[in-house]
Structure 1
């Protein structure tokens, strides 16, 4: 038996994957959707972006947003490390 999903629901799942970097597995578990269905929706969205200029811009925006989120997270980790290193060396000097 095939289950029907609204277009808005599909778009939401695709956005969570592309924009926030959520894994297909985590989305499948959280929303009780098969991994295959999510993969198909993502593939269909990417294919549609090839012909629809507005969707292509939205897709590029989501990819850039994800890249910036990852970069921000990495910089936060580096900043935390540097703070700990500075505190360590400050104790050594005293």
Structure 2
């Protein structure tokens, strides 16, 4: 049995119909003559890719927050030292 190649736009269309329109795998399989397992693997790969990209975006946001908090912490330490010296005068 020869494997059938599907182009990227067709795969994206099927994935969107499944994820965003809520069409079941069986319906898509019958309508577009694509095996359920193939559609299922496309959807899984898409979800994994989305999770990865979301993870990377979240990681960058957390790094920025961490940097801001470190700067704020440094400032507060300096302020605490300054006010401690003022109290002891």
Bin the TM-score by the shorter chain: 0.5 to 0.7
Query: Following TM superposition, where does structure 1 have runs of at least 4 consecutive aligned residues deviating by more than 2 angstroms?
Result: none
| Larger relative contact order (Cα-Cα within 8 Å, sequence gap ≥ 6) | 1
Report what 2:32 is aligned to.
31
Give the number of equivalent residue pairs. 54
Q: Which runs of 5+ in 2 are unaligned?
A: 58-89
> What RMSD in Å do the two structures reach over aligned CA positions?
1.4
Displacement of 1:37 in angstroms is 0.2
Report the TM-score when normalising by structure 1: 0.55
Larger C-alpha radius of gyration, 1 or 2?
Answer: 2
Aligned counterpart, 2:52? 51
Cα deviation code 1:47-88 (max 9, x no counterpart): 0001224xx9xxxxxxxxxxxxxxxxxxxxxxxxxxxxxxxx
Normalising by structure 2, we get a TM-score of 0.58
